[in-house]
Amino acid sequence: MIGWREDGRDRSARWRSESGAAPPRRVVVADDATRADEAYRLACEGTALLWRGDFQNARQLLAAMARRADRTPRSRRRKPEPPQVQAFHLYRQARAQRAHTLGMLLIPFEPGHTIPLRRAPDVAQACTEAYGPDDEPYVTSLRELLGIIGAHEWREKGVPIPALGDDHIHPHYGVFSPVRGEYVDLVAQAPLPATTVAFDIGTGTGVLAAVLARRGVRRIVATDQDPRALACAIENVERLDVAKHVEPVEADLFPDGRAPLIVCNPPWVPGKPATPLERAVYDPDGRMLRGFLAGLADHLEPGGEGWLILSDLAEHLGLRTRADLMGLVDAAGLAVAGRLDARPAHPRAADPDDPLHAARAAETTTLWRLTSTR
Ligand SMILES: C[S@@+](CC[C@H](N)C(=O)[O-])C[C@H]1O[C@@H](n2cnc3c(N)ncnc32)[C@H](O)[C@@H]1O
């Protein structure tokens, strides 16, 4: 719950945050008369602003607050560049602080996910997709709401996947979206060791299972731990008319049994996710990567291949070395039978203002073809 004073009365409402943000302790009422400097100052101090004005003005206020958050203080500009790993931690800290501050502008909801503000859009469908049905009032941050609206638009529109002949994958809220197509192309190009059975470990939207099905693999067991991902994968493989070949299974890593081909695209950066939405990017202590490698030999059929898809961004950031990775491969009784590389084509790789530009510009995504040495 959050509490505030309004019209001389103490008021309260249920707090919602899919990103796991704690309810703000101090809340004041704000409206069209609230100035951006004042709003930004309050937000930096940890005071949230519950919006009562025009919805579109709240969007503009949030954009003005974001511009203030992105101004680099003069004192920081001339400091020497810290080493890459430190730069990465500072970058994450700054992003978390920015998210915290911008999360202080709050929007009230009435039952049925309706917003009782002037010029508010109809977000009932988008919020139902992210939160489930709701028939009680609540408050959430405008920043989270904009993320939910954006996710709904992507879900409607879909992401074109060249490896699927430009058919679309429709990601659900909170499910890893295959916007970076280069890793999907690697799975479309690598020579198939067999077309009988494959496992897709951590299937997300189901994109890799769908690519394997289109390549003629007759049965693909697609696992994930996240029920949202499984629901999303089921919808996508149905839409793409490959559902008869794909069996979604809720599992921690591997399903039962063995397969001649096991594919896994774990989160690429070891680290603690700051929010549940970061779980597809950050792998705490490299748990999924280690778990996949450690269990692979026991799930491969003789002569089978494990395809590990991993970018070397973590290596460029100083968070993992190539020797660490090869050590894990070796210790798991595996050998590298081959590799396919791709250079990322995403726009941030070419953005010199991105604080992680050097690492992103040097990044290579690799499909490692692994075989058992046992
Ligand atoms: C980086 S995403 C990749 C999704 C999809 N395979 C792709 O390539 O677009 C990693 C996925 O692994 C799932 N995952 C994480 N840990 C897992 C585990 N222990 N067992 C099964 N799935 C897991 C996440 O929920 C997420 O959907």
Rounded distance from Cα 291 to ligand 1 centre (Å): 12
Mean pLDDT of 112-137: 96
Helix axes 55-70, 142-157, angle to 10 degrees: 100
> With 90 as the cut, is the pLDDT of residue 30 above it?
yes
Place of tokens 């769908």: 210
Residue 153 burial (CB < 10 Å; 0-12/13-18/19+)?
exposed
Is the distance from the beta carbon of residue 365 to the nearest atom of ligand 1 less than 6 Å?
Answer: no
pTM of the entire predicted model? 0.93
Is the distance from the beta carbon of residue 288 to the nearest atom of ligand 1 less than 6 Å?
Answer: yes
Is the distance from the beta carbon of residue 267 to the nearest atom of ligand 1 less than 6 Å?
Answer: yes
DSSP characters over 270-283: ES--SSGGGGGTEE
Q: What is the pLDDT confidence band of residue 117, given thresholds at 50, 70 and 90?
A: very high
Query: What is the pLDDT at residue 82?
Result: 60
- DSSP class of residue 286? G
Residue scoring higher pLDDT (347 or 89): 89
Spatial neighbors of 235 by CB under 8 A, at least 6 apart, are 170, 172
Q: Which atom of ligand 1 is nearest to the CA of 264?
A: 6
Q: Which atom of ligand 1 is nearest to the CA of 175?
A: 27
CA distances from 101 to 41, 55, 94, 97, 159 (A): 9, 19, 11, 6, 30
Check if the beta carbon of residue 278 is closer than 8 Å to that of residue 155: no
Is the distance from the beta carbon of residue 265 to the nearest atom of ligand 1 less than 6 Å?
Answer: yes
Q: Which has the closest alpha carbon to 212: 225, 230, 229, 198?
A: 198
Mean pLDDT of 134-153: 96
Helix residue ranges, H only, 5-141: 36-44, 55-70, 74-77, 84-102, 124-131
Q: Which residues pair with 219 in a beta bridge?
A: 197
Is the distance from the beta carbon of residue 342 to the nearest atom of ligand 1 less than 6 Å?
Answer: no
- The angle subtended at Cα 315 by Cα 313 and Cα 317, nearest 5°, is 70
Is the distance from the beta carbon of residue 286 to the nearest atom of ligand 1 less than 6 Å?
Answer: no
Q: Which has the closest alpha carbon to 217: 261, 168, 253, 160?
A: 261
Q: What is the pLDDT confidence band of residue 236, given thresholds at 50, 70 and 90?
A: very high
Q: Which residues pair with 261 in a beta bridge?
A: 198, 305
Q: CA 370, CA 287: separation in Å to the nearest integer? A: 18
CA distances from 29 to 32, 195, 235 (A): 11, 61, 41
Q: Which has the closest alpha carbon to 171: 312, 289, 267, 277?
A: 277
Q: Which has the closest alpha carbon to 108: 142, 148, 135?
A: 142
Query: What is the pLDDT at residue 77?
Result: 54
Query: What is the pLDDT at residue 134?
Result: 87
Per-residue pLDDT tens digits for 33-56: 999 999 999 999 999 999 999 999
> With 80 as the cut, is the pLDDT of residue 76 above it?
no
Rounded distance from Cα 49 to ligand 1 centre (Å): 36
- DSSP class of residue 269? E
- DSSP class of residue 116? -
Rounded distance from Cα 289 to ligand 1 centre (Å): 10
Q: Which domains does the chain have, with CATH numbers?
A: 2-153 (no CATH), 163-372 (3.40.50.150)
Question: Is 330 in a helix, a strand, or coil?
Answer: helix
Pair of tokens at residue 204:
């997300």
Q: CA 71, CA 66: separation in Å to the nearest integer? A: 9
Is the distance from the beta carbon of residue 325 to the nearest atom of ligand 1 less than 6 Å?
Answer: no
Query: What is the pLDDT at residue 199?
Result: 98
Rounded distance from Cα 259 to ligand 1 centre (Å): 18
Nearest CA to ligand 1 atom 4: 204
Check if the beta carbon of residue 297 is closer than 8 Å to that of residue 374: yes
Check if the beta carbon of residue 319 is closer than 8 Å to that of residue 267: no
CA distances from 80 to 76, 77, 83, 84 (A): 9, 9, 9, 12
Nearest CA to ligand 1 atom 8: 265
Mean pLDDT of 123-148: 96
DSSP characters over 183-195: HHHHHHHSPPS-S
Q: Which has the closest alpha carbon to 173: 113, 127, 206, 138?
A: 127
Question: Is 372 in a helix, a strand, or coil?
Answer: strand
Q: CA 2, CA 24: separation in Å to the nearest integer? A: 7
Query: What is the pLDDT at residue 278?
Result: 86
Is the distance from the beta carbon of residue 236 to the nearest atom of ligand 1 less than 6 Å?
Answer: no
Place of tokens 């994968």: 233
